[in-house]
Amino acid sequence: TGKLPGVSFLKATAAHTEHPADCAPVFGMDWVEKLVRAVANGPAWERTAVFITYDEGGGFWDSVAPKQIDDYGFGTRIPAILVSPWARSGLVDHHMASTASILKLIETRFGLEPLNHRDRDAYDLLGAFDWEQPVRSFEI
Protein backbone atom coordinates (compact mmCIF):
# COMPACT_ATOMS: atom_id res chain seq x y z
CA THR A 1 0.00 0.00 0.00
CA GLY A 2 3.04 2.29 -0.07
CA LYS A 3 3.28 2.67 3.70
CA LEU A 4 6.70 1.11 4.27
CA PRO A 5 9.42 3.32 5.78
CA GLY A 6 12.51 4.23 3.75
CA VAL A 7 14.28 1.12 5.07
CA SER A 8 12.66 -2.13 6.21
CA PHE A 9 14.15 -5.43 7.36
CA LEU A 10 12.30 -8.74 7.37
CA LYS A 11 13.63 -11.86 9.06
CA ALA A 12 12.02 -15.21 8.45
CA THR A 13 10.47 -17.06 11.36
CA ALA A 14 11.18 -20.76 11.84
CA ALA A 15 8.35 -21.67 9.46
CA HIS A 16 10.11 -19.81 6.61
CA THR A 17 13.87 -20.07 7.30
CA GLU A 18 14.55 -22.81 4.76
CA HIS A 19 16.48 -24.65 7.49
CA PRO A 20 15.57 -28.33 7.09
CA ALA A 21 14.98 -28.83 10.83
CA ASP A 22 12.34 -26.07 10.89
CA CYS A 23 10.72 -26.01 7.47
CA ALA A 24 10.90 -27.40 3.98
CA PRO A 25 12.99 -25.01 1.84
CA VAL A 26 10.05 -24.52 -0.53
CA PHE A 27 8.08 -22.82 2.29
CA GLY A 28 10.80 -20.20 2.69
CA MET A 29 11.18 -19.72 -1.05
CA ASP A 30 7.42 -19.25 -1.46
CA TRP A 31 7.37 -16.74 1.41
CA VAL A 32 10.19 -14.68 -0.11
CA GLU A 33 8.59 -14.76 -3.56
CA LYS A 34 5.26 -13.59 -2.12
CA LEU A 35 6.94 -10.65 -0.35
CA VAL A 36 8.97 -9.60 -3.39
CA ARG A 37 5.92 -9.80 -5.66
CA ALA A 38 3.94 -7.63 -3.21
CA VAL A 39 6.66 -4.96 -3.26
CA ALA A 40 7.11 -5.18 -7.03
CA ASN A 41 3.38 -4.71 -7.56
CA GLY A 42 3.19 -1.84 -5.07
CA PRO A 43 3.47 1.91 -5.62
CA ALA A 44 7.10 2.19 -4.43
CA TRP A 45 8.64 -0.29 -6.89
CA GLU A 46 10.52 2.43 -8.82
CA ARG A 47 12.26 3.43 -5.57
CA THR A 48 12.97 -0.05 -4.25
CA ALA A 49 15.93 -2.38 -3.75
CA VAL A 50 15.31 -5.74 -2.09
CA PHE A 51 18.30 -7.68 -0.76
CA ILE A 52 17.75 -11.35 -0.07
CA THR A 53 20.52 -12.80 2.09
CA TYR A 54 21.08 -15.99 3.99
CA ASP A 55 22.97 -17.00 7.09
CA GLU A 56 25.04 -20.14 7.31
CA GLY A 57 27.21 -21.63 10.00
CA GLY A 58 30.18 -23.89 9.57
CA GLY A 59 31.36 -23.19 6.06
CA PHE A 60 33.42 -26.34 5.81
CA TRP A 61 32.36 -26.60 2.14
CA ASP A 62 33.94 -23.28 1.17
CA SER A 63 37.25 -23.38 -0.68
CA VAL A 64 38.04 -19.74 0.18
CA ALA A 65 39.13 -18.75 3.67
CA PRO A 66 37.21 -15.74 5.07
CA LYS A 67 39.00 -12.40 4.92
CA GLN A 68 40.32 -11.41 8.35
CA ILE A 69 39.51 -7.70 8.83
CA ASP A 70 39.38 -7.72 12.63
CA ASP A 71 39.23 -10.21 15.54
CA TYR A 72 35.96 -11.62 14.19
CA GLY A 73 36.67 -11.83 10.46
CA PHE A 74 34.02 -12.05 7.79
CA GLY A 75 32.87 -15.64 8.18
CA THR A 76 31.98 -17.90 5.31
CA ARG A 77 30.67 -16.66 1.99
CA ILE A 78 26.89 -16.57 1.69
CA PRO A 79 24.56 -15.93 -1.22
CA ALA A 80 22.83 -12.60 -1.70
CA ILE A 81 20.36 -11.53 -4.36
CA LEU A 82 19.42 -7.99 -5.38
CA VAL A 83 15.93 -7.44 -6.77
CA SER A 84 15.30 -3.94 -8.07
CA PRO A 85 14.12 -2.16 -11.19
CA TRP A 86 17.60 -0.64 -11.22
CA ALA A 87 19.64 -3.85 -10.74
CA ARG A 88 22.11 -4.62 -13.51
CA SER A 89 20.65 -7.54 -15.44
CA GLY A 90 22.61 -10.77 -15.09
CA LEU A 91 25.39 -9.21 -13.00
CA VAL A 92 27.48 -11.35 -10.70
CA ASP A 93 29.19 -8.72 -8.57
CA HIS A 94 32.67 -9.91 -7.57
CA HIS A 95 33.40 -7.09 -5.12
CA MET A 96 34.19 -8.15 -1.57
CA ALA A 97 30.90 -7.48 0.21
CA SER A 98 29.33 -8.36 3.55
CA THR A 99 26.07 -7.66 5.29
CA ALA A 100 27.70 -4.37 6.31
CA SER A 101 27.60 -3.48 2.60
CA ILE A 102 23.82 -3.16 2.84
CA LEU A 103 24.27 -0.78 5.76
CA LYS A 104 26.89 1.16 3.74
CA LEU A 105 24.40 1.53 0.86
CA ILE A 106 21.75 2.85 3.29
CA GLU A 107 24.27 5.29 4.80
CA THR A 108 25.35 6.45 1.34
CA ARG A 109 21.75 6.88 0.16
CA PHE A 110 20.60 8.82 3.23
CA GLY A 111 23.84 10.70 3.99
CA LEU A 112 24.41 8.96 7.33
CA GLU A 113 27.68 8.54 9.21
CA PRO A 114 29.05 5.00 9.57
CA LEU A 115 28.56 3.14 12.84
CA ASN A 116 32.03 1.57 12.91
CA HIS A 117 34.94 0.47 10.71
CA ARG A 118 33.02 -2.43 9.16
CA ASP A 119 30.38 -0.31 7.44
CA ARG A 120 32.78 2.61 6.89
CA ASP A 121 35.12 0.35 4.88
CA ALA A 122 32.44 -1.82 3.24
CA TYR A 123 31.67 -1.93 -0.47
CA ASP A 124 28.51 0.18 -0.98
CA LEU A 125 26.95 -2.13 -3.64
CA LEU A 126 26.41 0.78 -6.04
CA GLY A 127 28.14 -1.16 -8.81
CA ALA A 128 25.16 -3.54 -8.82
CA PHE A 129 22.83 -0.78 -10.02
CA ASP A 130 22.34 0.83 -13.43
CA TRP A 131 20.62 4.20 -12.97
CA GLU A 132 20.59 4.88 -16.73
CA GLN A 133 18.47 1.87 -17.75
CA PRO A 134 14.69 2.10 -18.08
CA VAL A 135 12.72 0.99 -15.04
CA ARG A 136 12.25 -2.76 -15.31
CA SER A 137 9.24 -4.68 -14.08
CA PHE A 138 9.58 -7.71 -11.83
CA GLU A 139 9.54 -11.05 -13.63
CA ILE A 140 10.35 -14.58 -12.56
pTM: 0.85
Inter-residue contact 128 to 93 (CB < 8 Å) = yes
Instruction: Indicate if the pLDDT at residue 76 is higher than 80.
Output: no
Instruction: Indicate if the pLDDT at residue 140 is higher than 70.
Output: no
pLDDT band at 92 (very low <50, low <70, confident <90, very high): very high
Instruction: Indicate if the pLDDT at residue 57 is higher than 70.
Output: no
Q: Rounded mean pLDDT of 43-58?
A: 85
Per-residue model confidence as pLDDT tens digits over 105-123: 999 999 999 999 999 999 9
